[in-house]
Amino acid sequence: MNLIYRLSFKLMVVQFYKRNAGLLFFFFIAFFGIIPPQYLVTTHLGLIHAQIDSPLLSLCVLVFWASYSIRCTNFICTTNNKYWDSTTSYFRSFSPKTIRINLLLVFSVVYLPITIYGILVASVAFFEENSIYGSYVLTSLLIITLCNTIYAYHFSQGRKTLVFPYRNIYPSIKINFHFNWILLSYYWRERTKVVLLLKVISYVGFNLFIIRNKDFFREDYFVLFLLLLGSFNSLLIFSGQKFLEERAQFLRNLPISLFARGMMNLITAIVYFIPELLFLIGMNHEILTYESKFLYYTFLISHFVLQFALLYSENFSYWKYIKYLVVMLFGFQMMIAVVPIYIVIVINLILSAVIFHDSYLKYEHQTSLMKD
């Protein structure tokens, strides 16, 4: 067992730090070299407090951490690919548990600078009695580490399965997508700009309603914004459905139940709106309780699923789909004014299930007749 650790350390860890020594030295000089020694602690504490107090800065830092983790995983998998005939067959001689532990240790060491800084940020947050943000930082580091380790493990086993919706880091290698992730992978690979634009709209809207106008916050206006936000995602939903039915028609020939196909849409919505959930959790807690924040997150999910199911009720053109969404927007606005939002969520989910169940096979029959 010690032999595989020593081999991995020499091939991956040592070579990683040799290759990235210049980049790490640049960041070291930028963060420590140009700051006078007597102001080092004060400056870095100020940066950490700014990160804790600003959701936007915190999000930018998290994106940087995730980008650096992809760089680390890219190097680990590239090293495996470079020595494919020797290291891969050698790895397979060990148990899966040993390989996972080995890759976890390798990634933890190459990712160590970020981990140390993240633990420092979390420690300051806990010291300031902001346990929520400290837990958020530690959980983010744990998720990043586990996701990258799982990806590296699948690559080392020769399966090359896209476990997490990363971009295709290796253009020369064809990656087989897991069914539940294929729609998310399509959004991430081919609709990146649209997704980022929609997330910016979400953040700006939440910032205006919850932070900038907290003294004049009205829940009915905020719910209306959530309805508009759900409608803004219609372009993404429309293109995703066309992708599944035109470019990924082979999925209909797979032995996958209708329930599993519906669950794919639900899983897509759950993962897609995680940034909005993080925005809400990181913002003012005096205006919205945690129960309300998760309720609004669930509302966005139910609205997404309903819009997706609606596309199977008829062979829509995009502009006809927009007209239906406008009618839905006013209908839900009047409904929310009368009934609580959790009832609206239940109605959304029931309608989504009924429409998708009744319309999925009919949609296939209609499109086949139109082609004939």
Average pLDDT of the chain is 76
Last residue of a domain, one of 177, 207, 232: 177
**What confidence score (pLDDT) does residue 86 get?**
52
Residues 81 and 94 in one domain: yes
User: pLDDT per residue over 311-326, tens digit each?
Assistant: 877 666 666 777 777 7
Helix (H) / strand (E) element for 162: namely: strand 161-162
Residues 172 and 194 in one domain: no
User: pLDDT per residue over 240-284, tens digit each?
Assistant: 888 887 777 777 777 777 787 888 888 888 888 888 888 887 766
**What confidence score (pLDDT) does residue 241 get?**
81
Residues 141 and 201 in one domain: no
**What confidence score (pLDDT) does residue 218 get?**
74
Residues 194 and 160 in one domain: no
Residues 186 and 164 in one domain: no
Place of tokens 């949609």: 363
In whole angstroms, give the CA distance from residue 255 to residue 179: 11
Count: domains in the chain: 2
Closest CA to 207 of 142, 139, 145, 287: 287
Q: Of 263 and 218, which is predicted with more confidence?
A: 263
**What confidence score (pLDDT) does residue 167 get?**
39
* pLDDT, average across residues 30-53: 77
Residues 172 and 213 in one domain: no
Residues 269 and 328 in one domain: yes
Residues 253 and 203 in one domain: yes
pTM of the model as a whole:
0.53
Under the banding of pLDDT at 50, 70 and 90, the label for residue 82 is low
* pLDDT, average across residues 285-292: 73
Residues 224 and 153 in one domain: no
Q: Of 145 and 260, which is predicted with more confidence?
A: 145
* pLDDT, average across residues 284-291: 71
**Residues whose CB falls within 8 Å of the CB of residue 149, separated by 6 or more in sequence, listed in order:** 100, 103, 104, 107
**What confidence score (pLDDT) does residue 23 get?**
76
Last residue of a domain, one of 146, 177, 208: 177
**What confidence score (pLDDT) does residue 70 get?**
82
Residues 103 and 166 in one domain: yes
Last residue of a domain, one of 118, 145, 177: 177
Residues 213 and 358 in one domain: yes
**Are the beta carbons of 267 and 358 closer than 8 angstroms?**
no
Q: Mark 329-362 as b/e (b = at least 16 C-beta within 10 Å).
A: eeebeeebeeeebeebbeebbeebbebbeebbee
**Are the beta carbons of 236 and 304 closer than 8 angstroms?**
no
The rounded percent of the chain whose pLDDT value lies above 70 is: 80
Residues 53 and 150 in one domain: yes
Domain residue limits at 126: 2-177
